[in-house]
Structure 1
Amino acid sequence: MSGTAAAGGLHWRLWSWNEWSNDLLYAAMQLRSAIFVVEQNCVFPDMDGLDPACTHLCGCDDDGRLLAYARLLAPGVKHEDASIGRVVTAIEARGRQLGRALMQEALRLTRARHPGAAVRIGAQQHLERFYGSFGFKTISTPYLEDGIWHVDMRLPG
């Protein structure tokens, strides 16, 4: 586990698969399910077998509630590039720029852990401008994945 200073009003911690508690694991899976499955009305295999190979960025408030989450993948785990995925903020925390703070922290940690590596994401198409604001460039045509339009984007190393 590695911790970082509060940013975006949250306390950020990076966990490897075998480090985090059952409670935090449950909170992460619950948050991912609440947004990706229920809110977005999308039935898809969230547990895709990659979680054990990832590090997990968790943003918790002062009460320990998980409000922001992303998983970080080293180069070669899913793509040739490093990757950031399952980027999510809790419904009750929206409007506080936590998505921006989450991506800033995810990129900072990815760059620190994999200097010089490009970063690839599979972005929901309606968030293309958001990810573009971090320097990501679209590298694919739109494609339908689990009923939602996506584009692949890449941030050079």
Structure 2
Amino acid sequence: MLSIFIKTFDELTTGELYDMLQLRSEVFVVEQDCVYQDIDGKDRKALHLIGKKQGKVVAYTRLFPGGGYFDEASIGRVVVKEEERKYGYGHDIIKASIAAIGDHFKEYRIKISAQKYLIRFYEKHGFVQVGEEYLEDGIPHIGMIRDALNVV
């Protein structure tokens, strides 16, 4: 079972910070073979959603209010440890991220920069494509918006 924790940067323990950065590096840099600057200075401003299983960080997102990354609230750095994906933890952390944005920021319109192969995944959570496909760090992405007023 996945336990969800939501923390500001200053509330993170050193161990949680290390584990979350290790997971992001493991997936985004090594697994996806993408060289990019993961530590981008935005972690200090983000709200961090951490999914732990048996005390280990296996899933993660970072959340921003409107104006923090996009004009709308946003979810980024969505990641689940490879061997844990079969349990549906990606869906769990997206649902928790959407709820956290509403609870903490009182915002219900969310924009993401989605890797193109994950479009259907995000559509299941009420996101719709906006704009044209673009490359981000050499990976095809598409902008997507979720507006709680339009979600059924």
TM-score (norm 1): 0.91
The CA deviation at 1:45 is 1.0
Residues 1:150 and 2:130 are matched in the alignment: no
Residue type of the alignment partner of 2:31 = E
Q: Which structure: greater helix fraction?
A: 2
2:84 equivalent among 93, 99, 105: 93
2:52 equivalent among 56, 60, 65: 60
Aligned residue for 2:87, secondary structure, equals: coil
Which residue number corresponds to residue 106 of structure 2? 115
Aligned residue for 1:150, secondary structure, equals: strand
Which residue number corresponds to residue 32 of structure 2? 40
Identity of aligned residues (%): 37
The CA deviation at 1:117 is 3.3
Distance 1:118 1:77 in 2: 13
The CA deviation at 1:115 is 2.7
Contact 1:75 1:117 in 2 (8 A): no
Aligned residue for 1:134, secondary structure, equals: coil
Distance 2:116 2:107 in 1: 26
Contact 2:73 2:107 in 1 (8 A): no
Runs of 4+ in 1 over 6 A off after TM superposition: none
RMSD over equivalenced CA pairs, Å: 1.0
Which residue number corresponds to residue 13 of structure 1? 5
Distance 1:112 1:155 in 2: 16
Residue type of the alignment partner of 2:129 = T
